[in-house]
Amino acid sequence: MDASYTLVSGPPPLADYLRLRRDSGLTPKTAEQGAGAIAGSWTACHVVAADGSVVAMGRAIGDGGWYFHIADIATDPAHQRHGIGRSVVEWLVADIRARAPEGAYVTLVGDPPGQRLYRSLGFEDVAPSLGMALPNH
């Protein structure tokens, strides 16, 4: 990530959270869902461009003991391919490693566009385990 971007500790404002999810191709969320996600984060960061606009974000949820899940890695499409997403994930992992007890288990769900990045940062498939979700009602 070049010097025209600044990584900021903490979540982005709610409007930026919702916009980044939508614009980066993640499932859009309501304001109520976004507010809960931000409030429930164990750690979070966002990236600001030189013009002051929020262009990327990421967060982790966790129990503070051994389990941490990285979520909402999103970069504005106009700012992708500049190493911003990598910087966000590296910052989150470093923050977890610095503040969590030794032996923390860090997970994420790697959608196809991000899998190469996550593997390059040391994340591995958990096969034969399989990620599962309860469908929305």
Q: 137: which 2 tokens? A: 């009602």
Tell me if 34 is assigned to some domain: yes
Q: pTM surpassing 0.85?
A: yes
Tell me if 133 is assigned to some domain: no
Helices (H), the chain: 14-23, 31-39, 84-99, 112-120
Domain total in the chain:
1
Tell me if 107 is assigned to some domain: yes
Taking only the tens place, the pLDDT of each residue in 57-101 is: 999 999 999 999 999 999 999 999 999 999 999 999 999 999 999
pLDDT at 132: 87
The domain in which residue 55 lies consists of: 6-120
Q: What is the 8-class DSSP label of residue 51?
A: T
pLDDT at 136: 80
Tell me if 128 is assigned to some domain: no
More confidently predicted of 112 and 37: 37
Instruction: Give the confidence band of 130 by pLDDT, cuts at 50, 70, 90.
Output: confident
Q: Which residues contact 114 (CB under 8 A, 6 or more apart)?
A: 73, 85
Residue 102 CB neighbour total at 10 angstroms: 6
Tell me if 113 is assigned to some domain: yes
